[in-house]
Amino acid sequence: MNRVIALEVRSRDRRKPIRLVSSIALYTAVGLFVLLTLAPVLWLLLSSISSTNDLTNIPLRWLPNTWDFSRFTRLLDPNGQGREFVAALKNSLIVAVGATIISLLVAIPAAYSFSRFRGAQSQLLFVVLGTYMMPPVALVLPLYSILASVGLLNNVWGLLLVYCTILSPFTTWLLKTNFDTIPLEIEESAQLDGLSRWGVLYRITVPLALPGLSTAAVWALLLAWDEFFYALIFTSNINTKTIPVAIADFAAGRAVDYGLICAAGALAALPPVLIGFALQRGLMSGLTSGSVKG
Amino acid sequence: MTQQTDKKTAWWMLAPLLLIVLGAIGYPLIRTLLLSFTNARLTGYSDPIQFVWLENYWQAITNSAFRESAGRTTYFVLVNIGLELLLGVLVALLLNQAFRGRAIVRALLIIPLALPTVVSAIMWRWIYNPEFGVLNALLTQLGLLGQYRSYLGEPDLAMNMIILADVWKNYPIVALVALSALQLIPKELFEAAAMDGASAWTRFWRITLPSIIPALTVVIVLRTIEAVKVFDIIFVMTKGGPASSTRTLSFEVYQEAFSSLKAGSGAAYSYLVVLISAVLIFLYIWLLRRQERQ
């Protein structure tokens, strides 16, 4: 008798506990996701401001006894210990910004051409995309001797030019999918008013595509800031090494100061992560439209 | 505005990009191919360069070190991509649910993506550190691990730990693409299926998965192309060690050409990587074009 009643009660309220259980499960999963995404980065930040004593304590102290913010000021002091790091920041900035600007100048007309003109040349889009995906190991030896023969080996401008070969096909691809979404009618009426194709591109299409252009620019900057292989091979001194190479050098050194490496990593990660976070909406749509819609 | 001038404009707009692609990617690719048939050395301009034709390729194929690195690359790619696919889909499904703070939680996916690869590598190396690493401390304090382990120091373990670090950094791209594909599925489809009594499991296999598979295929092939080239994370985390257990193909090429200075056989090695990449790139482009037509 009792059991029957109990069963009835359970079946009447069945949905409620299930909803509770599933929402607990949902929030647990979300919490786990947040933890796994953030914990490694937070540990890097925490390590960068923990004193060396705390870092090398066994058993490990989760929160340091002494905070040490001095690594950041040391790293950013161009006259002292930070000489190499500041120089690398400067080199990375020149290479990333310069290569991004040149690549966009090349990619804007190319993307417009791919987007608006049908014909034999439009088939080249996939050739461009394919060559850009070639592994750098297959290009590095000839590029090395070309750079050496024109005196641009171990030179910031040489590296900048090499990066244009990666960034310009990539930004062309991103911009092409973006230009495809801009309606033709405005362009056509402008053409009837006597504007040339180049005029249409720079007076009409580019202003309309500004959000897409900024997305492409940010992706190009992130890509250039991140590049390691070419930078490792083509640069060898303080005047040319970029941030990734400088950090790899730091980490490979004999006298390892883990806190200092973490601080250098945190500083190097700050610009791309901040930019990525600020522009995440545009970045995601720019990126996924390329894969989802093709 | 004749057809003729349009055609000319189309080519002029493409010209700078084509110049870059042909000059800085096409030409080096051919030079590398020629180089791979010679016994050239990186610094040996004084020795006469001789054509040895396929000897370098034969040497590569019969060289057990090269074959082993090909095997390790295959392992890296398969496990890596498998985990990225699994995790990417799971996280996309999770972030597609309704929960509080969803926008900000979704935005977290951008952090691993924006973090420079080298920074991610030093971060994980520090987490894995055998003496002071947080992973050992965490697992020991949770009682899951009896004794500290050297994650990057044991040949059986090192590659797997690198894969985990690489998956953490790169799976968000799979998740983002899957998420945006999920959002395109019309809700009515699920409602109708639920009305017809289809279980959540059935709905997943019959509606969700088939709807996101086209986008997933594209991003997975893209990630495979990237994974085949893996270099930077390995260079920073283990330099190919311990006991060569993390030497992948790109690393082998780098060593052959820039440490042993054998440009000829290095080029041959790299061309074998090109062959693998070319197959994948063709697959990628074929998929993209098929989607574009639909």
Q: How far is CA A192 from CA A53, A114, B7, B42, B216, in A?
A: 74, 22, 18, 58, 43
Nearest to B288 by CA among A192, A294, A63, A23: A294
> What are the CA-CA distances from residue B288 to residues A126, B20, B277, B285 (Å)?
9, 23, 16, 5
Within a domain: B114: no
Assign residue B276 the CATH number of its domain. 1.10.3720.10
**Confidence category of residue A153, pLDDT binned at 50, 70, 90:** very high
- Per-residue confidence band for A287, with pLDDT thresholds at 50, 70 and 90: low
Helices (H), chain B: 3-21, 27-35, 55-62, 64-95, 102-107, 110-114, 117-127, 134-141, 155-183, 187-195, 200-203, 209-228, 232-237, 249-254, 263-293
- Band the pLDDT of A183: cuts 50, 70, 90: confident
> What's the whole-number mean pLDDT along residues A272-293?
70
Mean residue pLDDT of chain B comes to 90
Asked if A285 and B174 count as a contact pair (C-beta separation under 8 A), the reply is: no
| Pairwise CB contact (< 8 Å): A34 & B20 | no
Q: What is the pLDDT of residue A160?
A: 96
Asked whether residue B140 is assigned to any structural domain, the reply reads no
Collect all residues of chain A within an 8 Å Cβ-Cβ radius of residue B123. 40-41, 43-44, 262, 265
Considering only CB atoms, A113 lies closest to which of B14, B219, B257, namely B14
Reported as a pLDDT band with limits 50, 70 and 90, residue B1 is very low
Statement: residue A232 has pLDDT above 70: yes
Residue B198 resides in a domain? yes
Task: Look at residue B105 and tell me if it is in a domain.
Answer: no
Residues of the domain holding B279: 36-99+171-293
ipTM here: 0.90
Which residues, in sequence order, are CB contacts of B56 under 8 Å at separation 6+? B36, B37, B39, B264, B265, B267, B268, B269
pLDDT at A9: 47
Q: What is the pLDDT of residues A251-270, one digit of tens each?
A: 887 667 889 999 999 999 99
Task: Say yes or no for a CB contact (<8 Å) between A141 and B270.
Answer: yes
What Å distances lie between residue A17 and A20, A141, A174, B97, CA to CA? 5, 65, 48, 19
How far is residue A158 CA from its own chain's centroid? 22
> What value, to the nearest 5°, has the Cα angle with vertex A211 and ends A118 and B88?
90
Looking at chain A from residue 6 to 25, which residues have their Cβ under 8 Å from any Cβ of chain B? 23
Residue B109 main-chain phi, psi, to 5 deg: -60, -25
Number of A/B CB contacts below 8 angstroms equals 290
Check residue A60 and give its pLDDT: 79
Measured CA to CA, the distance from residue B270 to residue A140 in angstroms comes to 10
Domains of chain A: residue spans and CATH: 2-71 (no CATH), 78-292 (1.10.3720.10)
Report how many domains make up chain B.
1
Binning pLDDT at 50, 70 and 90, where does residue A279 land?
confident
Q: Is residue B7 part of a domain?
A: no
Q: Which residues in chain B are closer than 8 Å to A285, comparing Cβ atoms? A: 180
How confident is the model at residue A17, as a pLDDT? 74
Take residue B192 and report the two structure tokens written for it.
Answer: 């109708």
For B159-189, write each residue's pLDDT tens digit: 999 999 999 999 999 999 999 889 888 888 8
User: Could A58 and B131 be called an inter-chain contact, meaning their C-beta atoms sit closer than 8 Å?
Assistant: yes
Q: Is the dihedral of CA B246, B251, B256, B261 positive or negative?
A: negative
B213: pLDDT strictly greater than 80: yes
Kindly state whether residue B18 falls inside one of the protein's structural domains: no
Question: Which of the pair, A4 or B204, is modelled with greater confidence?
Answer: B204
Task: Tell me which residue in A29, A196, A291 faces B219 most closely, judged by beta carbons.
Answer: A291
Q: Which two tokens stand for residue B203?
A: 């709905």
Q: Which residues are within 8 A (CB) of B24 and not within 5 positions of it... i.e. 6 or more apart?
A: A139, A143, A161, A162, A164, A165
Backbone angles phi, psi at B247, to 5 degrees: -75, 115
A67 pairs with which residues across the strands? A50
Q: Which residue's entry shows tokens 């309704």?
A: B98
| Residue B92 to residue B178: CA distance in whole angstroms | 6
CA separation for the pair A216, A112 (Å, rounded): 14
The reported pTM is 0.89
* Mean pLDDT over the full length of chain A: 86
> Would you say residue A14 has pLDDT above 60?
no
Q: Of B26, B132, B273, which is closest to A55 when you measure between CB atoms?
A: B132
What is d(CA A38, CA A289) in angstroms, rounded to the nearest whole number? 26
Cross-chain Cβ contact B218/A294 below 8 Å: yes
B234 contacts in chain A (CB < 8 Å): none
Span B230-289, pLDDT tens digits: 999 999 999 998 999 999 999 999 998 888 888 888 999 999 989 888 999 989 888 888
Burial label, A105 (beta-carbon count in 10 A; 0-12, 13-18, 19+) = middle
For residue A211, give how far its alpha carbon lies from the nearest alpha carbon of chain B (Å).
18
